[in-house]
Amino acid sequence: MSRTRALRHALAALLATGALGAAAVTVPAAQPAGATTRTERVGGARVIAERPAGERLVDLTVRSPALAGDAAVRLLTPDGWAERGPGDRWPVLYLLAGGDGNPLSWTDEYRIQNLPELRDTLVVMPAMPLFGFYSDWWRPAEDGPRAVETFHLREVRPLLERHYGAGTRRAAAGESQGGFGALSYAVRNPGLFRGVASYSGFVHPLAHPRAVRAAMAYLGMDWRRLWGDPVAQRDAWEAHDPYHLAPRLRHIPVYLSSGDGRAGALDPEDVEPDPEIPGLEDPARPFPEDVISPTEALMGEESRAVADRLRRQGTPLTTHFYRGTHAPAYWERDLRRSLPMLLRSLEPQPRHP
C-alpha cells in the first residue's frame, strides 16, 4: 500500500487534509446506476439503494436523518447469505475506517474478501463524515449534523438486524480514528460488542486535546463542536474517552496495537516524515528527533496508557507495540493478527445448567 494513502490516513486521523471522504457521505443524490431501490427502514433511516460490488460484496446507500444526508455501507456477506430465510442470522464484525471515513480500503486494499476465515461472518463497513470521530457531536458542524454514533448504532445496526441477516453476536475493529470508534462504541454501549480491536487508534483523546484542536483547525473546523472545550466540557470528553471508561471493558477481549513513530520494518527505505501541522507538537514535550510520524507517536502513547489500565483491571488483553509509523501496512498486519481473537469472541457461548 502506498505511502500516499498512509499520509492521508495520518492527516485524517489527526491531521486531515480534507482530500478524502466526500464520496462516503453526501447530501441526498440520484440513485447509483445499476442499483436496486429498497424500502427497508428503521425509524426515519432507510436503505434507498442496494447494488452488488463484487463476489459477496453488497453496497447499500442509507438515507440518514442523523447525518441529514445519504451515506454508504459496504457489506461482505457470508456463504449462503443470498439465499437467506427470514430467521437466518450471522455473527457480525464491524470494521471502522480511519478519519477519512472511507470504508472501501478494507476490500479494495486489504482484500478482506479473500480471507477464508470470514466466510461465515457478516462484515459491516460503514462510512463516516470526514473527521467525524465516531461521535454524536456536542454541537452541529458548520455544514450540518454529525451524529455518527447514532447513524452507525441506532440506524445502520437495526436496519441490518431487521433486513440483512445481522445477528446479535458482534465484534468491532478499526484503524486509526476507527480504532477509537471500536473502543468508544464498546465502552459507551456495554454488552453491544463481544470483542474489540484498535490499530493505531486515538484511544485516549483527553491525553492530547491539543492534537484534536490542531487537526480540526488545519481542516478549517471548529474543534469545540466535537465535544466542547476539554476543560469546560470535560464530562463530555470523558464520556467518549476509552481510558476513562476502561472498567466497562473488563470482561471482553481487547486487542491494541501501535507503532512508536519511528521508521520500522514495514516502511519503505525512502519513507518521508508526516506533514508538519501547526500546533500539534507540545513545546513542553517535543518529539524525539528520530520520530518521523508524530501521529503514530501520539497513538502509541495513548494505546499504551489504555493497555496499562486494562491490564491492571484484568481485562483479557492482547497488545502489539512495535517500531513503525502511521501506515496501512501495519494495520493490515494487525488486522490479520487480531482476527482469530475477534472471531472467537463471536462464537456461541456455552449454556450453563
Give residue-wise pLDDT tens across range 298-325: 999 999 999 999 999 999 999 999 999 9
Q: Which residue has the cell 464484525?
A: 93
| CA diameter of the chain | 60
Rounded to an integer, what distance in angstroms lies between the CA atom of residue 197 and that of residue 341? 9
Give me the count of residues in the chain: 353
Please name the helix (run of DSSP H) or strand (run of DSSP E) that holds residue 233, with its range, or none: none
Q: Mean pLDDT of all residues in the chain?
A: 89
Residues 286-307, mean pLDDT to the nearest whole number: 96
Task: Check residue 38 and give its pLDDT.
Answer: 55
Is the confidence at residue 32, as pLDDT, over 80? no
* Domains, the chain, ordered by start: 3-345 (3.40.50.1820)
Residues 216-239, mean pLDDT to the nearest whole number: 95
- ∠ Cα 74 76 78 (to 5°): 150
Q: How much of the chain exceeds pLDDT 90, in percent? A: 80
C-alpha distances (whole Å) from 105 to each of 3, 95, 100 are 14, 10, 11
Rounded to an integer, what distance in angstroms lies between the CA atom of residue 36 and that of residue 171? 29
Confidence band for 351, pLDDT divided at 50, 70 and 90: low
Task: Check residue 283 and give its pLDDT.
Answer: 85
Q: Do 185 and 194 touch, CB atoms closer than 8 A?
A: no
Instruction: Give the predicted TM-score (pTM) of the model.
Output: 0.91
Task: Check residue 11 and give its pLDDT.
Answer: 53
Rounded to an integer, what distance in angstroms lies between the CA atom of residue 329 and that of residue 208? 25
Cell matching residue 293: 510520524
How many CA atoms within 13 Å lie on the side-chain side of 78? 19
Q: How much of the chain exceeds pLDDT 70, in percent? A: 87
Among 219, 195, 44, smallest CA distance to 129 is for 219
Give residue-wise pLDDT tens across range 239-260: 999 999 999 999 999 999 999 9
Is the confidence at residue 80, as pLDDT, over 90? yes
Question: 3-class SS at 7?
Answer: helix
